[in-house]
Structure 1
Amino acid sequence: MSNPAVSKKSPGILSNPFIRTAMLSHMMLQIGIWVRNFSVLLYVTERTDQDPVAVSLISVAEFAPIFIFSFIGGTFADRWRPKRTMVGCDLLSAFSVCAVLLTLAFEVWEAVYFATFVSAVLSQFSQPSMMKLFKRQVPPEQQQGAMAMTQTLTGVFMVLGPAMGGAIYGAFGIEASLGFTGAAFLASALILLRLPKDDAPASAGGQRRRFSAELGDGFRYVLRNKVLRTLSITFAMVGLSSGIANTLGIFVVTDLLGKPESFVQYFQMANGAAVLAGGISVAFLAKKMSPPQMLLLALAFDAAALIGMGYSTITGLTLALNAVAGFFFPVIQVAISTMMIRWTEGAFMGRVGGVMMPMFTGTMVLMMAVSGPLLHVFSLGTMAIISGAFMLAGGMLQFAIMKERAPSSAQQGPASPTSSAV
């Protein structure tokens, strides 16, 4: 007689109400972000007659908060109630868009930078809060699959987002585009109200430590943890490689392939479609490989693709290599996110994210700044080899943690399968 406990199927990922709510909120945020980003880009480009400085300030408004607020946001995320933090951040993002709409009525067009900046600042508080809830509400066996679903959804909007943002702006203008963005952020906040009620903060009954002490604890926690320490260096290597690759893209199209600059859109479309395919496929890879193995595989393929694109003069081959790089992008994201969750205790989740994210963004922006001048010294092929070498070095680091197992103290699943939603 068969044992019913053995034959019973494990529940699917979408049977978890937290995952369903998180995915729906993520979808609304992606809609709002893509519509905002493209409408602001097109608006600033038209308003300033394609002034490169004005256009570049959009990236400054988007990336600067990561350096300034990531450490702070991660520490406060560990202090505050995560659900309340995320709902509050989405509401403030929606209100900031409304404020920008009011200023546009007075012809203060520069206020569009404010919408991007405020949203980027608030994301440094809401993202680590979501990671904390993810660790608390999602069982370890579902975490990698849920991360894959998130990356698949991100891939969908990498394909559809630019077209959606451009269409709304082209048809209705900047005011309607920002109004649509605010509505999407507000919808996300309302959806998040369905999440389980926050637990009381751990320090509610005791004396809270100084902010600087808790911030320092986050750095020390990462340095003492072999896996997290290795991941931090991997993040930096991937950032250095990505910074070079982002700069080389336009020159690969114009110099190696002899195509006009407008041909870049086909590269973006191919890359977005590949990211979508990779997001779907990573769920199958996750069943066969451990996160360090997935990360090693993805970084090795990306390194080869980057080097190949630096030398290829055949359009079809370059597009294929670009698609390979896009395909493994979600694999990298899922592997790193899964390891962060599995090897980090819940009390440090926000601070670990706050320490590690600037490692990637900082090195990427640094290399984007110096890659242009370096192209006057080195050839495209040499720069591609340097980019690939950074990516491969990040992959080789995974051999040091290939046999590591997540500590039991960090393996935290749902507190209760019947958590009440509010």
Structure 2
Amino acid sequence: MNRRFFILDRNTASTLTNNSHAKSGSLFQNRVFQSIIISGLFLQIGIWVRNFAILLFVMEKTNGDSFAVSMISVAEFAPIFLFSFIGGTFADRLNPKKTMVWCDLLSALSIFAVLVTLIFGTWQAVFFATLISAILSQFSQPSGLKLFKMHLPVEQMQQGMSFYQTLFSVFMVLGPIIGTFMYDTFGIQVSIAVTGIAFVLSAVALAFLPNSNQTEREVASKTTLWEEMKSGIKYVLQKKDLSLLGLCFMGAGLGLGLIQPLTIFLVTEQLGLPKENLQWLITANGAGMIVGGALVMIFLKNVPPQRLLALGMLSNVIGLSIIGFSSSIWITLLAELFIGLMLPCIHIGINTWILQSTEGAFIGRVNGILSPMFTGSMVLTMSLAGILKEMFSLTAMFEASAVLFLIGLSFILPLYNMKIVESK
């Protein structure tokens, strides 16, 4: 699933006045926050239509081959491991508005190129659609995170993250339904075309973002890319909380990658249902996320992010353990609902933690270092998931995933009562 988090144009006195007003006013009056929400809306439509159309299309073309299905996820997540650090470093140097707009436009272009190949009968090109979009997101996502850091005061960061997470949660419910409907009704070609149009509309929304701080980019240009990459690694290693967060990421990534490609087999084999019923498991998870995001935004907005993260990790351990043994659709749905309810604690906790603990000049590189620790671990087990499924039962795979989440939780427990010192 693609995520965007969101420098500030200070070239004129009027812009400074507007920014000051936005910061002191309501979160929803913030121009950057509004643009990002609208962009995120279009992106979620495109991503879910693409993901479900490609999944169902590949399942149909390969007769449910587990290796082919797992390769869809590898195409989506492997670029995060390979390009995240480079993309994060460039995000600390380039104009974030232009970076984000161009990435969406290039993603749309790649989608339309895939559509052309599909028309001429090369169905394997659908993997290319996911791959290119995933690569480009590694340049746009950290640019958005820098915008988010500089445009929101610290007291609104967790609320902003909660609202943005709720948008994703809504599409966890609607996305599978929309994606399945589009593929079943119109087929793969129309679904891919809709994805491309959605990316173009996202770029249009981002065009209303303010420009970046030119002075900051001029300073960044005086150092080499390699020097900035080394300074980013040194920065993370010197901060104990970020280093332990990275180890937590690795445990969670290993656990998630082990089951990510196999959920559809949980439906078809363990529960004995048609593959289209996957949408109801995702819907239950998404419904929980909507409620969970609202609860964090209203009742838990002042809870320290490391405590939110620990609560979310523990909930995954419990929920995955139940799913692994369940052969009842209702128990599995309730477990997915419970995981979804607590999942915003992980997403909001992680992103708020990074935003509060990291200096603005290092946001891109910190994100570019920590993300591959999670994604690289996930891609490793994801690549092996299809093979391991043939060797072990689905129950064993889900229980092993729960254990890996528990190991990840153990790394951040020493920070449970730590007070995060905000970096500017």
Kept in 1, the 8 Å contact 2:75–2:131? The answer is yes
How far is 1:396 from its partner? 3.5
**Which residue identity is paired with 1:237?**
G
| 1:109-133 Cα distance to aligned partner (Å, 9 max, x none) | 3333222211111000000000011
Find the aligned partners of 1:254 and 1:207 in 2 and give their Cα distance: 53
The alignment status of 1:278 with 2:282, answered yes or no, reads: no
How far is 1:326 from its partner? 1.7
Spell out the pairing of 1:179-328 with structure 2 (5 A cutoff): 179-202=193-216, 204=218, 208-246=222-260, 249=263, 263-328=277-342
The alignment status of 1:152 with 2:190, answered yes or no, reads: no
Find the aligned partners of 1:268 and 1:150 in 2 and give their Cα distance: 19
Number of residue pairs the alignment of both structures matches: 401
Kept in 2, the 8 Å contact 1:135–1:341? The answer is yes
| 1:32-53 Cα distance to aligned partner (Å, 9 max, x none) | 1111222233334444555555
Structure 2 counterpart SS, 1:202: helix
What's the counterpart of residue 370 of structure 2? 356
What's the counterpart of residue 76 of structure 2? 62
What's the counterpart of residue 163 of structure 1? 177
1:124 to 115, 118, 138: 138
Structure 1 counterpart SS, 2:325: coil
Over 3 Å counting, the alpha-carbon distance change for 1:372 and 1:103 in structure 2 is closer
Kept in 2, the 8 Å contact 1:245–1:306? The answer is no
Kept in 1, the 8 Å contact 2:81–2:373? The answer is no
Kept in 2, the 8 Å contact 1:306–1:387? The answer is yes
The alignment status of 1:115 with 2:129, answered yes or no, reads: yes
- TM-score under structure 1 length normalisation: 0.86
**Which residue identity is paired with 2:111?**
V
What's the counterpart of residue 141 of structure 1? 155
Find the aligned partners of 1:229 and 1:339 in 2 and give their Cα distance: 12
**Which residue identity is paired with 1:334?**
I
Find the aligned partners of 1:309 and 1:261 in 2 and give their Cα distance: 17
Structure 2 counterpart SS, 1:268: helix
Kept in 2, the 8 Å contact 1:149–1:280? The answer is yes
How far is 1:272 from its partner? 2.1
Find the aligned partners of 1:166 and 1:247 in 2 and give their Cα distance: 17
| 1:260-295 Cα distance to aligned partner (Å, 9 max, x none) | 666544322222222222222221343352111111
Find the aligned partners of 2:273 and 2:182 in 1 and give their Cα distance: 29
Find the aligned partners of 1:194 and 1:207 in 2 and give their Cα distance: 25
**Which residue identity is paired with 1:171?**
T
Find the aligned partners of 1:262 and 1:286 in 2 and give their Cα distance: 35
Structure 1 counterpart SS, 2:213: coil
| 1:51-87 Cα distance to aligned partner (Å, 9 max, x none) | 5554443223212211221111111111111111001
Spell out the pairing of 1:11-90 with structure 2 (5 A cutoff): 11-48=25-62, 50-90=64-104
- TM-score under structure 2 length normalisation: 0.85
Kept in 1, the 8 Å contact 2:53–2:179? The answer is yes
Range moving further from structure 2, 277-286 or 88-97:
277-286
Over 3 Å counting, the alpha-carbon distance change for 1:317 and 1:43 in structure 2 is closer
Kept in 1, the 8 Å contact 2:71–2:383? The answer is no
Kept in 1, the 8 Å contact 2:104–2:203? The answer is yes
Find the aligned partners of 2:392 and 2:123 in 1 and give their Cα distance: 40
Over 3 Å counting, the alpha-carbon distance change for 1:253 and 1:38 in structure 2 is closer
Kept in 1, the 8 Å contact 2:326–2:332? The answer is yes
| 1:350-390 Cα distance to aligned partner (Å, 9 max, x none) | 11111111111222232334456656776666654443333
What's the counterpart of residue 3 of structure 1? none
**Which residue identity is paired with 1:300?**
L
Kept in 2, the 8 Å contact 1:155–1:273? The answer is yes
Range moving further from structure 2, 378-387 or 362-371:
378-387
Over 3 Å counting, the alpha-carbon distance change for 1:191 and 1:274 in structure 2 is same
Range moving further from structure 2, 262-271 or 245-254:
245-254
**Which residue identity is paired with 1:239?**
G
How far is 1:98 from its partner? 2.5
Over 3 Å counting, the alpha-carbon distance change for 1:41 and 1:129 in structure 2 is same
Give RMSD over aligned pairs.
2.7
Over 3 Å counting, the alpha-carbon distance change for 1:335 and 1:97 in structure 2 is same
Structure 2 counterpart SS, 1:204: helix
Kept in 1, the 8 Å contact 2:88–2:364? The answer is yes
| 1:215-237 Cα distance to aligned partner (Å, 9 max, x none) | 12211111111111111111111
Over 3 Å counting, the alpha-carbon distance change for 1:167 and 1:203 in structure 2 is closer
Range moving further from structure 2, 94-103 or 46-55:
46-55
Structure 2 counterpart SS, 1:405: coil
**Which residue identity is paired with 2:304?**
S
Over 3 Å counting, the alpha-carbon distance change for 1:60 and 1:286 in structure 2 is same
Range moving further from structure 2, 83-92 or 268-277:
268-277
Over 3 Å counting, the alpha-carbon distance change for 1:186 and 1:347 in structure 2 is same
How far is 1:238 from its partner? 1.1
Kept in 2, the 8 Å contact 1:67–1:362? The answer is yes
Find the aligned partners of 1:37 and 1:307 in 2 and give their Cα distance: 26
Over 3 Å counting, the alpha-carbon distance change for 1:325 and 1:94 in structure 2 is same
Q: In structure 1, list runs of 5 or more residues that go unmatched.
A: 1-9, 412-422
Kept in 2, the 8 Å contact 1:293–1:398? The answer is no
Over 3 Å counting, the alpha-carbon distance change for 1:96 and 1:398 in structure 2 is same
**Which residue identity is paired with 2:52?**
F
1:345 to 336, 359, 362: 359
Find the aligned partners of 1:170 and 1:251 in 2 and give their Cα distance: 20
